[in-house]
Amino acid sequence: MDMDQVELYAQKSDVDNNLSDPTVIAKYRLAADIAQDALTKVVARVADGVRVSELCAFGDEIILSYTSKVYNKNSVEKGIAFPTMISVNDCVEYYSPTGDAGDEYVLRTGDVVKIELGAHIDGYMATNGHTTVVNSNPAAPIEGPAADVICAAHFAAEAALRLMKIGNNNIQVQEAIAEAAALFNCSPVAGTASNEIKRYVIATEKMILNVPDEENRPVQDFVFVANEAYTLNILISTGDGSCREGALKPTVFSRNVHQNYNLKLKSAREAFNEINNNFGVFPFSIRALENKRHRLGVTELASHQLVTPYPVYYTRASDKVAQFKMTVLVAANGTTRITPALPLPYVHSAYSVPSDSAVAQLLATDAGVKIVKSGKALAGIGASEVAAPAQGMDVDM
């Protein structure tokens, strides 16, 4: 990717993110509907004995199937904004195995399963994530730490969403996340965050850390204003929230458009060309590289900072981590969540949200947040309804 392309992406991200433009909104919502349908179908396949690599490949195939059917007249870029990643139990984020020997995980009863993915249309992206549990008896609720952390993450996400409106600030959102987690004896996961997004930009400098870290990751305070889009990404742990990079090698990377290098290996040059042509600035899984030999070339790309890895992080082995992720548009006429929540797994926590808590007061209001129903934009391109497993949440408020 040359400097002319870098400059072009920068111009697009700054100029073409007008949320009062119906064309821009239509592209965001189509991307959201595609991501939502893919997430729904992947969740429906979660079961004991299923290989995570197969689920990841399945989610990516759904996104590509839909995006291949739209905006074909003007060579509009579209496709995967984030590859399907499925992180289980103490694994925090970015696990997207290739299916090769040594990197595989097979789901088992009791596993807490986090699924996240994303699609984009013309650079306008929507990402979403959900947590479910492999339950051998869907009629009986999951109890214990798994139930606690799912409730904590769900209520933290809902409280945070209600604060993402014009005039509020990122510190208010951070505080609500921490309070919701504490109600269920859980902790937000350090090093994880929500971000403002723009066209072709997966994270601007506007960031909402799940755990403030002024020493290692200082973040500037900001106020939500009109014409902004965000990925709200809530990750909660049953432990103290600390995490570390695991032993597994990263399989998810993104192109670093600000770095150039004269590559020596043929496999690296071929991989670099494939990445530029097929993925652009968006993250990709090496599983998607058409030639397996190109996966070896990624090693050289990473060593020269031409691609940026997404390391796989873990909390303590005894911990459980839950995640809920959504795309939110903050416009002059209000805040809209364009990736609706999926049905929750059937869990029962020993903890509750006290009626006199700030979290309960937030949850009792809609705070002017609108929810866009999923599926409308998919009409006519082969969308199909998939029933989710019997689910629900049993928790006192």
Cα angle 232, 329, 115; round to 5: 35
Instruction: Name the pLDDT band for 161 (thresholds 50, 70, 90).
Output: very high
pLDDT at residue 389, as a whole number: 35
Provide the pairing of β-strand 207-209 with 284-285. Answer: unpaired
Judge whether residue 374 has pLDDT over 70.
Answer: no
With tokens 């609720």, the residue in question is 141
Instruction: Name the pLDDT band for 371 (thresholds 50, 70, 90).
Output: confident
User: What does the pLDDT average to over 299-316?
Assistant: 93
Q: Six-digit token pair at 308?
A: 């940026």
Sign, Cα dihedral of 383, 385, 389, 391 = positive
Report how far residue 145's alpha carbon sits from residue 320's, in angstroms, rounded to the nearest whole number. 7
Q: State the average pLDDT for the chain.
A: 88
Give the residue among 91, 80, 102, 119 at the shortest CA–CA distance from 289.
80
Judge whether residue 153 has pLDDT over 90.
Answer: yes
- Of the two residues 396 and 101, the one the predictor is more confident about is 101
Judge whether residue 309 has pLDDT over 50.
Answer: yes
Judge whether residue 396 has pLDDT over 50.
Answer: no
Return the H-helix or E-strand segment holding 93: strand 91-93
pLDDT at residue 335, as a whole number: 94
Burial class (CB in 10 A: 0-12, 13-18, 19+), 277: exposed
Lowest pLDDT segment from 99-108, 129-138, 203-212, 313-322: 99-108
pLDDT at residue 8, as a whole number: 56
CA distances to 21, 37, 53 from 10, in Å: 19, 30, 34
Structural contact between residues 82 and 118, judged by C-beta atoms closer than 8 angstroms: yes
pLDDT at residue 352, as a whole number: 94
Q: In this prediction, what percent of the chain has a pLDDT beyond 70?
A: 88
Q: Give tens-digit pLDDT for 94-152.
A: 999 987 766 789 999 999 999 999 999 999 999 999 999 999 898 999 999 999 999 99
Instruction: Name the pLDDT band for 388 (thresholds 50, 70, 90).
Output: very low
Q: Kindly list the structural domains of the chain, giving each domain's residue range(s) and its CATH number in brackets, ordered by start.
A: 3-250+310-396 (3.90.230.10)
Report how far residue 283's alpha carbon sits from residue 272's, in angstroms, rounded to the nearest whole number. 13
Q: Give tens-digit pLDDT for 16-48.
A: 778 989 999 999 999 999 999 999 999 999 999
Burial class (CB in 10 A: 0-12, 13-18, 19+), 380: exposed
Q: What is the DSSP letter of 205?
A: S
Instruction: Name the pLDDT band for 372 (thresholds 50, 70, 90).
Output: confident
Amino acid residing at 347: V
Residue 273 CA from chain centroid, whole number = 26
Q: Give tens-digit pLDDT for 284-293.
A: 999 998 787 8
Phi, psi angles (nearest 5°) of residue 157:
-65, -45
pLDDT at residue 377, as a whole number: 62
pLDDT at residue 74, as a whole number: 80
Residues, the chain: 397
Instruction: Name the pLDDT band for 379 (thresholds 50, 70, 90).
Output: low
Judge whether residue 9 has pLDDT over 90.
Answer: no
Judge whether residue 384 has pLDDT over 50.
Answer: no
Q: Give tens-digit pLDDT for 58-75.
A: 999 999 999 999 998 888
Judge whether residue 380 has pLDDT over 60.
Answer: no
User: What does the pLDDT average to over 239-249?
Assistant: 93
Judge whether residue 383 has pLDDT over 70.
Answer: no
Structural contact between residues 152 and 181, judged by C-beta atoms closer than 8 angstroms: yes
Around 251, how many Cα atoms within 13 Å sit in the side-chain half-sphere? 27
Give the residue among 275, 394, 388 at the shortest CA–CA distance from 47.
388
